[in-house]
Structure formats: structure tokens, C-alpha cells
Amino acid sequence: MASFLGVSGGALISALQANAATDTTSSSSTNQTAQASSTQPDPNKGGHVGTNGTKEELLTGDTAEKVKTAALAAVPGGTVQRVENDAEGSPYEAHMTKSDGSQITVKVDANFKVTNIEDGPPNRQ
């Protein structure tokens, strides 16, 4: 009986050690993924910092609705991806996808008038 417990105990210890090694690897890769995510901003959440040091933040409430309305009027059939303050020039911008699938950025002034439509996603480094 003592020899059976010795073998069973050894097997149990080996299984626990293998499990611990697996758990460490899995949490390590989870931590690496979380670190990579935190160093690269999610473009759908804003966060770009312009050369002037202004950080773009997502718009909310009445301002967001007015910017969306202006952008959609300027680009019929388009879809607004996000609206935010603009770090380079205009007070606001709307990132959109046109009906043909191409991406644009619509610049909007403080009076909620469209001032410019830029083709393509922003070229940010």
C-alpha cells in the first residue's frame, strides 16, 4: 500500500507541476496581449495626439449628434465610424466609410459646417 501511495503521490505532483507550467504560459501570453493592446490605441476609441500636443477624444451627447448629422449630410449613404475632436485643424472630425467601402475623414467647424473631406484613413505614425 505504501508503494502505491508513493507512485500515486508522485503522479499527482507531476500532474500539478505540468498544470502550473501550462497556467503560467497561458497567463504570460494573456499579459503580453494586454500589454500590446495598451501600447497601441484602439482607433475606434480616438486617442491620436496631434503634433500640437492635442489629444483626440470621442465626442458625446449633442455635439456628437451635430457632427454626425453634418457628416452624413455631406456624404449621403456613408456610415459614421466615430466622431471626435480634431487634433489637427478643425474643432471636430467624423471618420466615415462611404457606400463604396472607401474611408474618409470629414472635418467639421465649430458651427457644425463641413469644411473638408479627406480621402483615406489618416496617415499617423
Alpha helix positions (H), the chain: 2-39, 61-74
What dotted CATH number matches 43-119? Answer: 3.30.505.20
The pLDDT tens digits for 29-68 are 444 444 444 444 455 555 667 667 778 899 999 999 999 9
For residue 93, CA distances in Å to 70, 75, 107, 112 come to 10, 13, 4, 10
* pTM, 2 dp: 0.61
Count of H-run helices and E-run strands, the chain = 2, 4
Domain boundaries defined on the chain: 1-40, 43-119
Q: Say whether pLDDT at 123 is over 70.
A: no
Q: Say whether pLDDT at 12 is over 80.
A: no
Taking residue 85's Cβ as centre, other Cβ atoms within 10 Å add up to 18
The rounded mean pLDDT for the chain is 75
For residue 22, CA distances in Å to 12, 17, 31, 43, 100 come to 15, 9, 14, 33, 47
Instruction: Tell me the backbone φ, ψ of residue 95, rounded to 5 degrees.
Output: -90, 125
